[in-house]
Structure 1
Amino acid sequence: MSTVTTSGTWAAVTPTPPNVSGLNTGHVSWGVPVGGGKSGYSFSGGTIEVKTDGSEQTLGTFTHQNFPIVGGGVNQFDVDLVVRIRFQEDGSDRDFSFRFHHFETPNDGPTPDDEVDLPTRVSPESVTIDGEKYAAVITGFKRNGEIVNKFFSPENGANSADVVAVLSRVGVPEVVIATVCHKGEVKYTQADEYVEIVNRGTAHADISGWLLYADDPGQNFTFPPGSTLKAGQRIRVYTNEVHNEWGGYSYGSGRAIWNDKGDTAHLHDAGGALVSDFGYGTEAP
C-alpha cells in the first residue's frame, strides 16, 4: 500500500471543436457560448491510499460544466487526460493517460443531456511495485454511491462524479462480482434485480460459457458465445429486464432469483473453476 497524491491535466481534444482553451491545465473548455458560458471538463485530485490487491480507489473528481454552445458541427470528440500520481514514500511521479469520449447533444429534443464515455480505461503507462508491473484501470464514474459506465449531464450546470480506478497487473484480466442488488422494486417478480460484474484487470476477458450461480438449483445463467468483458468494464445480469447499456444480459425469469434475506452469488469459468463469489444481504454466509 502506498500513499499518493493525484493531479490531472487535459492534454488534447480530437477532433478539435471551436474555441478550445485550457489545454495542459486542470480545466479545458470549448464552444461558442449561447448565454451561459463555455462547456468543458475539470479534474481535481487528492491524497489516497493505493493498494495492489484489486481495491478500487477514487483517482480524483471529474466535473463537466455543461452549457448550451455552438459547436461548429463537431459534436463528438475525444478528450485526453493525463493523471500524475506522486508516490510520497520516494517523491517519484508517474503519469497515466486516459481518454474520455464526449457527445455534445442538441440543446433541445428528447435527449438533451450530454454524454461522457470511457473508451480508453487502461493506461498505456505502467509502474513497477515489488517487481510486478501495474497499470491504472478506470472502472467507472461514482455518483451517489453507484459506479456507472457512462456519465450524463443536463444542460446549464456543473455535474461531478468521482473517477474510480484500480492498480492491476499488466496483461491480466481480473473478473469479480462487484455487487448483488437482491431486492428489486418491481412488485412480485423483482424483475429489476441484478448482479454486477466488473473486470478490474488490464486485459479483456472472454466470459463465453461462464456460469453465474445463485446458490439454488435451477437458478443459473450461462453467458452466451462471444461474451467479452473489456478491461475496466462493468456489466449486469438482470432477473427479467434487458439494459443494453449494461451488456443486455438477463435471466429472463418471471420470478425473483436472489434471496431477499441474503445468500451467496457464485461465478464460475467455462471449465467450472470458481472465479468469484459474493455474499449479500443480512443472511450471507
Structure 2
Amino acid sequence: MSTVTASGTWTAVSPAPPNLSGLSTDNVTWGVPVGGGKSGYRFAGGTTEVKVGGTEFTLGTFTHQNFPIQGGANNQFDVDLAVRIRFEEDDADRQFSFRFHHFETPNDGPTPDDEVDLPTRVSPESVTIDGEEYAVVITGFKQNGQIVNKFISPENGANSADIVAVLSRVGRPDVVIADVRSKGQVKRTQADEYVEIVNQGTASADISGWTLFADDPGQNFTFPPATVLQPGQRIRIYTNEVHPEWGGFTYGSGRPLWNDKGDTAHLRDADDTVVSDYSYGAGNP
C-alpha cells in the first residue's frame, strides 16, 4: 500500500485551436466565446491510497468546461497532460504523461455534445516498486458510480469525472471481471443485464476463445476470433442487447441469465484456466 499525491499540468495542444491559453497550468482553455466562456480542460489531483497490481484508484478529477465557441480550422485535436505523483515512501516526484483526444462537435447539429477520448491509456514512463517496474494505466472516467470508456460533455456548462487508474506491471496484460449487472431494467427478459470486463494491464490481451460463464447450463459465452483488449479497455457482454461502444458482445438470450440474489461469474482462458472470478449479491461487495 502506498500513499500518493498527484497534481497535473496541461503541456501541449496539437494542432493548436484558436485563442489557446493556460499551457503549463492545471487549466487550459481555447476558442473565441459565443455568448459564454471559453472551452477547456481542468485537472485537480489529490491524495489517495494505492495498491500495486490492479487495484483501481482515483488519479484526479477531470473537468471539461464546454461552452459554444467559434470554430477553427480543426475541430479535433490532442491535449497532453503531465501528472506528477509523489510516493510517500520515498518522498520523490515521478512524472507520468497522457494524451486526451478532443472532438469539438459542431453546435448546429442533432448531437452537439463534445467527446473526449484517450487514444493511449498507458503512461510511457514507469516507476520501480519492490524491484518490479510499473506504469500507470487509465481505465476510464467515473461519473455517478459508473466507469465509462469515453467522456461525453453537454454544451453550456462544466462536466466533471474522476479519472480511474491502476499501477500495473510493465509489459503484461491483466484481464479481470470488473462488474456484473445482474438485474436489468427491461421487464421479464432483463435483456440489459451485462458482465463488464477490463484489461488493467499495460499490454494488449488476445481473449479469443476465452469463456465467460456462471455455474448453470446455457450461460457460456465464448469470445470470437481476433478479440483483443487494449490496455485500459472495458467491454460488456449483454444478455440480449448489442452495444457497439462496449464491444458489441451479446449472449442473444431471450431470458435472464444472472441470478438477481447473487452468483459468481467466471472467466477462463482458451486452455480452460480460471483467469478471474467475480462474486456478487448477498455476502459480497
TM-score (norm 2): 0.98
Residue 180 (structure 2) pairs with residue 180 (structure 1): yes
Please show how residues 220-239 of structure 1 align to structure 2 within 5 Å.
Answer: 220-239=220-239
SS at the partner of 2:255?
Answer: coil
User: Would the aligned equivalents of 1:261 and 1:283 in 2 still touch at CA under 8 Å?
Assistant: no
Q: Which residues of structure 1 form unaligned runs of 5+?
A: none
Q: CA deviation at 1:90?
A: 2.3
User: Would the aligned equivalents of 2:53 and 2:169 in 1 still touch at CA under 8 Å?
Assistant: no
| Cross-structure match for 2:29 | 29
Structure 2 CA distance, aligned partners of 1:235 and 1:6? 28
| Cross-structure match for 1:51 | 51
2:172 maps to a residue whose letter is V
| Cross-structure match for 1:257 | 257
SS at the partner of 2:245?
Answer: helix
| Cross-structure match for 2:201 | 201
Report the more deviating stretch, 255-264 or 176-185. Answer: 255-264
What does the per-residue CA deviation read over 1:54-76, in whole Å, with 9 as the maximum and x for residues that have no partner? 11000000000000001312111
| Cross-structure match for 2:210 | 210
| Cross-structure match for 1:140 | 140
Q: CA deviation at 1:217?
A: 1.1
Report the more deviating stretch, 193-202 or 10-19. Answer: 10-19
Q: CA deviation at 1:53?
A: 3.3
Structure 2 CA distance, aligned partners of 1:231 and 1:106? 31
Structure 2 CA distance, aligned partners of 1:130 and 1:199? 23
User: Would the aligned equivalents of 2:35 and 2:68 in 1 still touch at CA under 8 Å?
Assistant: yes
| Cross-structure match for 1:38 | 38
Identity of matched residues, % = 78
Q: CA deviation at 1:283?
A: 6.6
Structure 2 CA distance, aligned partners of 1:88 and 1:259? 43
Structure 2 CA distance, aligned partners of 1:283 and 1:80? 43
User: Would the aligned equivalents of 1:140 and 1:163 in 2 still touch at CA under 8 Å?
Assistant: yes
Alpha-carbon RMSD across the aligned residues, in angstroms, is 1.2
Residue 7 (structure 2) pairs with residue 7 (structure 1): yes
User: Would the aligned equivalents of 1:137 and 1:231 in 2 still touch at CA under 8 Å?
Assistant: yes
User: Would the aligned equivalents of 1:263 and 1:283 in 2 still touch at CA under 8 Å?
Assistant: no
Report the more deviating stretch, 269-278 or 48-57. Answer: 48-57
Structure 1 CA distance, aligned partners of 2:185 and 2:72? 44
Structure 1 CA distance, aligned partners of 2:43 and 2:109? 29
Q: CA deviation at 1:120?
A: 1.2
What does the per-residue CA deviation read over 1:160-209, in whole Å, with 9 as the maximum and x for residues that have no partner? 00000000000000000000000000001100000000011000000000
Report the more deviating stretch, 165-174 or 104-113. Answer: 104-113
TM-score (norm 1): 0.98
Q: Which residues of structure 2 form unaligned runs of 5+?
A: none
Number of aligned residue pairs: 285
| Cross-structure match for 2:100 | 100
Structure 1 CA distance, aligned partners of 2:258 and 2:3? 38
Structure 1 CA distance, aligned partners of 2:245 and 2:100? 17
User: Would the aligned equivalents of 1:266 and 1:277 in 2 still touch at CA under 8 Å?
Assistant: yes
1:169 maps to a residue whose letter is R
SS at the partner of 2:102?
Answer: strand
Please show how residues 108-123 of structure 1 align to structure 2 within 5 Å.
Answer: 108-123=108-123
Structure 2 CA distance, aligned partners of 1:65 and 1:140? 19
